[in-house]
Amino acid sequence: MSLIYSARARRDIEAALALTQREFPSTLADFRRHFAAMIARISDWPLSGHPIPGRADLRAIPMVRYPYKLVYRVSVSTIEIVHFRHTSRQTPESWEGGR
């Protein structure tokens, strides 16, 4: 199964890495390890993330030890990383069925 990142997800990840580097530089290596573990988990078990209510096409997985969650979509041959968001941010209305 291939893994792809949306443009939004790439921007989200770059912003989170930049913030971590700037504000918490001593944790950057650990942050990267936990991010890689999240990617490994969904690569091995694509349906392991929690379904997002009202959005059957999206799943979310929390990042252990850090306040982020990865939002992704699974198809027959692809896992698409859609968004990487800080958990303190409000969930978009579109994720709750209000497209």
Where residue 84 sits, what CATH number does that domain have? Answer: 3.30.2310.20
Which structure tokens are listed for 70? Answer: 């990865």
Helix (H, G, I), strand (E, B) or coil at 89: coil
The alpha carbon of residue 54 and the mean position of all alpha carbons in its chain are separated, in whole angstroms, by: 18
Which structure tokens are listed for 66? Answer: 């850090």
Domain housing 45: 2-96
Which structure tokens are listed for 65? Answer: 């030890």
DSSP secondary structure code for residue 24 in this structure: -
Give the pLDDT score at 98.
37
Give the pLDDT score at 90.
61
Which regions in the chain score pLDDT beneath 70? 90-99
pTM to 2 decimals? Answer: 0.85
Domain count, the chain: 1
* Exposed e or buried b per residue across 40-53, where buried means at least 16 C-beta atoms within 10 angstroms of its C-beta: eebeeebeebeebe
